[in-house]
Amino acid sequence: MIEAKNIWKSYGDAVILEGINITVQEGEFVTLVGTSGCGKSTFLKMLLGTESISKGSLLLDGKPIPSEPGADRGIVFQQYSVFPHMTVLDNVIAAKGFLKRSLTGYLFGKEAKAARAEATTMLEEVGLSHALKRYPHELSGGMKQRLAIAQALIAKPRILLLDEPFGALDPGIRADMHKLVLKLWREYKLTVFMVTHDLKEGFYLGTRLWVFDKLRIDEQAPNAYGATITYDLSVGEMASDLYQEINDKVGQDEQEPPTETSA
């Protein structure tokens, strides 16, 4: 369904990504780990369509990924990306793009009712039905991310891109968010790509884990080479020594291999 063929990405003289070749089937949950600045978010933005590809091709169902975001791809960032002046419910209605159709900024009649009903259902799905009338500044970090997820899913995307969505949340809240994401992934049959700094989170949530790293390094010219996918693992294949090796590479300080899997 998604195919990357020899993808390269440079910013000016700096090579960020090189030689990426992957195929991802519908319904996979791919987690992306790697050192800071190695190009994980850049790769996600290529999938979203907001970042160009310097060389190679990125195909969705055999066709180049459009060079702008579309309803088939939703994204949630680490930084809260909700509209501060709108209620929770209006945030989701706005994300669907309903409001754009009205000159006055408001919807009327059947269309407004349908939009409201759909947004309300989506907010129930993410556990925010008690907060429809609240404003973002009245929400906790976890609630804001629930709202961002509802905004991303209201357009019924096939692909959900998550860029460290839980990085700013406390561990207990993160565990709740993990349950939510796994539930939505199954329920909506999504294909998920999620960047995380937390290797355990990557193993727990993903069906497949990618490690981004540089294979070639020139001390004299640190920008000469980019990162590529050095490990492409099905979750469950993990041996503890390999876990430790990856852990050392991506700069995590956790020592224990994960015991849970999402299977």
Ligand X SMILES: Nc1ncnc2c1ncn2[C@@H]1O[C@H](COP(=O)(O)OP(=O)(O)OP(=O)(O)O)[C@@H](O)[C@H]1O
Tell the smallest beta-carbon distance from residue 162 to ligand X (Å).
Answer: 12
What are phi and psi for residue 192, nearest 5 degrees?
A: -115, 135
Tell the smallest beta-carbon distance from residue 197 to ligand X (Å).
Answer: 6
Taken in order 74, 77, 83, 87, the sign of the CA dihedral is: positive
Class of residue 9 by CB neighbours under 10 A (exposed 0-12, middle 13-18, buried 19+) = buried
Nearest to 30 by CA among 38, 40, 39: 40
Tell the smallest beta-carbon distance from residue 43 to ligand X (Å).
Answer: 7
Closer to ligand X by CB, 16 or 180: give it: 16
Please give the Cα distance from 174 to 145 (Å, whole number): 10
* Segments in the chain forming alpha helices (H): 40-48, 88-96, 109-125, 141-153, 171-187, 199-205, 240-250
Closer to ligand X by CB, 79 or 121: give it: 79
Tell the smallest beta-carbon distance from residue 32 to ligand X (Å).
Answer: 8
Closer to ligand X by CB, 75 or 119: give it: 75
For residue 135, the 8-state DSSP code is -
Residues at the interface with ligand X (CB under 6 A): 11, 16, 34, 36-42
Tell the smallest beta-carbon distance from residue 225 to ligand X (Å).
Answer: 13
CA distances from 259 to 75, 82, 203, 204, 239 (A): 29, 35, 9, 8, 11
Closer to ligand X by CB, 54 or 129: give it: 54
Closer to ligand X by CB, 23 or 50: give it: 50
